[in-house]
Chain A
């Protein structure tokens, strides 16, 4: 292969592929007009959380449960496939409560149906399955995935997609989840929040394992410095975690001195982030930042 073609292919691999997918970041923005369907609608988790979503006021318009198309559930239509559900309801988003053996296929079905936002709650999807999902995800820009193994996304008072209890929220929040192969990372969220005029401050909660927080710190250095920077407060879980152990999430491990909480905290602090040592002080810490910057 000639040098220039090889070079072009490498470039495409590295930046072009990712560039496609970053176009879908704007789909993270949900509001009271967002129409949501539920995959795994008639299952135990699907039913419970769909009822919660309806109680909250999210615009849930139907659900998918193969083989049960045509029936109604919770007063809403059930469809056999995501494609049919989209055609029948005009849905912009889907939330997936499908068990691990079938969850990756459910995500792919949603990507094929070109649903703009997919939130996958399921924990325990095999990594190999998610690698295949991600391969497909990165080469398109229509669908944005949050998760898997995440609590979801909420725009309080307007729309809640996921399992977080609604009543405690007063600000926008995205839970991206703890799996190593996921659809949305810190930088995706930061871009949205930094550009959103209604977002005044950002709280970033990270944990040991990988280098997503370090990457986020780099991004903040480049995009959130100077006069117009927004206050960012952070907590990194796992400072007391012993090295070489897996503390629950598939993505959380530290060993050999890398991926540890100390390094992440240092990286974030060097980007101007105020890091709280206590998870219970995040509210008060960002409040103090607002005070310091006379934003109150």
Chain B
């Protein structure tokens, strides 16, 4: 089995993530996320959209204030919007440690763009969704500001209950879509897409009409819808959400903001997309784990977990909790795990200062227990294990594994079964 990518921290919430779930559940769809939150900046998502012929505001990207000024001049637009590029949401109401208030600014004067960019780039922007010290801004987007006369909501996603792609839209865009779903469900429209036939003309036109686009705009919106679907397939997205898909007074249909979620099972064939991944706003432990293809999520507690299989890993966290302990992390080593990965995983867990005990729970089907045992003994020797270690092993090659652990001479507490292991781990801390 190919090793899977680690889960990433979602320290920044996606702006509309909770709303998506409630909306889609009401439609009896189940929104799916990728295993790892591939982090793209707004300008990267918009570039992908541009490449698929989706209409977005004209924009440039700048890393210095003078580049921002040049960009603003080149745009030759009636009005310019300057946006700090960070992954976290809530930029509009954020504050820079330069003193500048607001991560998004509108101006008609390119010179002002340069001045503002000067107070953004290289400074930390703090918003409701960033850590309290904020995030350093390295890039700004300089875009043509467009008036929006009408906002709609449009999304395409892979839906379990429909066994494939579904498009969802509402003429009530720009606002909390979950409120729309709650108060006026008749304003939510859905079309199931056949994966082999794609979006049919009549489907696109019907959705455009339902979104409230009339006359020549209906055809324009239908065209945008088809292009968004092409993008959805092309980048192996699990969801493309446009909010708002807007109408300008000049009669243009434009995607003003988009969130794209990617299927990280498709990383092997989406190298260009995944190369854009920006890990700087992620938890450093989770980033390190990702390097070694380990699925790791940090939690609040003090008992570190070391498990193979996602279901079992979750169950291990559950059983620790049941016995009065607090898991420090979720960690799934996966099936094809190699000794080096075991070693690195152990290194990560022992480096965490809040970890006071480690619980290893391995039920080896594809996993060879001896590999786990070798990785652990090597790590313990080199890193001078300082916390109690409780080990429960079952399955493929378990006898060899137990022999390796016993002969290592390391202070390892063996457990008979999962229940016993959890109790011992919790007890080890109380000592």
A residues contacting B by CB (< 8 A) are 45, 49, 99-101, 121-128, 131-132, 134-135, 138, 151, 162-165, 168, 178, 180-181, 205, 207-211, 235, 237-242, 244-253, 255-259, 277-281
Residues of B within 8 A of A135 (CB): 163-164, 194-196
Residues of B within 8 A of A280 (CB): 319, 417-419, 422
Nearest Cβ in chain B — how far from A279, in angstroms? 4
In the assembled complex, the Cα of A280 lies from the Cα of B418 at a distance in Å of 6
**Closest partner residue, chain A, to B369 (CB atom):** A165
B21 and A128 contact, CB distance less than 8 A: no
Residues of A within 8 A of B332 (CB): 247-248
Instruction: Give the number of A-B contacts (CB < 8 Å).
Output: 194
B236 and A127 contact, CB distance less than 8 A: yes
Residue among A45, A134, A239, A279 having the largest count of chain B Cβ atoms under 10 Å: A279
Q: A128-B158, A131-B165, A237-B315 are in contact. Are A250 and B365 (CB under 8 A)?
A: no
Residues of B within 8 A of A178 (CB): 310-311
Residues of B within 8 A of A164 (CB): 365
- Say which one of B26-34, B205-213, B344-352 lies at the interface with A: B26-34
CB pairs A–B below 8 angstroms (27 shown): A123-B334, A126-B263, A127-B238, A178-B310, A178-B311, A207-B310, A207-B314, A240-B320, A240-B327, A241-B317, A244-B10, A246-B35, A248-B311, A248-B330, A249-B35, A250-B34, A250-B263, A250-B265, A252-B311, A252-B314, A258-B21, A258-B25, A278-B318, A278-B419, A279-B315, A279-B418, A280-B419
**Closest partner residue, chain A, to B395 (CB atom):** A165
**Closest partner residue, chain B, to A164 (CB atom):** B365
Q: Say yes or no: is B67 at the interface (Cβ < 8 Å to chain A).
A: no
A258 and B418 contact, CB distance less than 8 A: no
In the assembled complex, the Cα of A256 lies from the Cα of B20 at a distance in Å of 8
B22 and A257 contact, CB distance less than 8 A: yes
A138 and B163 contact, CB distance less than 8 A: yes
Q: A45-B366, A246-B33 are in contact. Are A123 and B1 (CB under 8 A)?
A: yes
**Closest partner residue, chain A, to B9 (CB atom):** A245
**Closest partner residue, chain B, to A207 (CB atom):** B311
In the assembled complex, the Cα of A165 lies from the Cα of B362 at a distance in Å of 12
Residues of B within 8 A of A247 (CB): 7, 297, 310, 313-314, 330, 332
Residues of B within 8 A of A126 (CB): 236, 263, 265-266, 269
Number of B residues near A (Cβ < 8 Å) is 70
Identify which of residues 330-371 in chain B touch chain A, using a CB-to-CB cut-off of 8 Å. 330, 332, 334-336, 364-366
B30 and A245 contact, CB distance less than 8 A: no
- Say which one of B11-19, B100-108, B140-148 lies at the interface with A: B11-19
Residues of B within 8 A of A207 (CB): 310-311, 314
Q: Say yes or no: is B2 at the interface (Cβ < 8 Å to chain A).
A: yes
Query: Chain A at the B interface: mostly helix, strand, loop or mixed?
Result: loop
Q: Say yes or no: is B299 at the interface (Cβ < 8 Å to chain A).
A: yes
A259 and B30 contact, CB distance less than 8 A: yes
Q: Interface 1/0s, chain B 155-169, versus A by CB < 8 A?
A: 000101101110000
**Closest partner residue, chain A, to B310 (CB atom):** A248
Q: Interface 1/0s, chain B 107-133, versus A by CB < 8 A?
A: 000000000000000000000000000
In the assembled complex, the Cα of A259 lies from the Cα of B10 at a distance in Å of 19
**Closest partner residue, chain B, to A121 (CB atom):** B1
Nearest Cβ in chain A — how far from B209, in angstroms? 17
Q: A124-B265, A135-B196 are in contact. Are A278 and B319 (CB under 8 A)?
A: yes
In the assembled complex, the Cα of A239 lies from the Cα of B364 at a distance in Å of 23
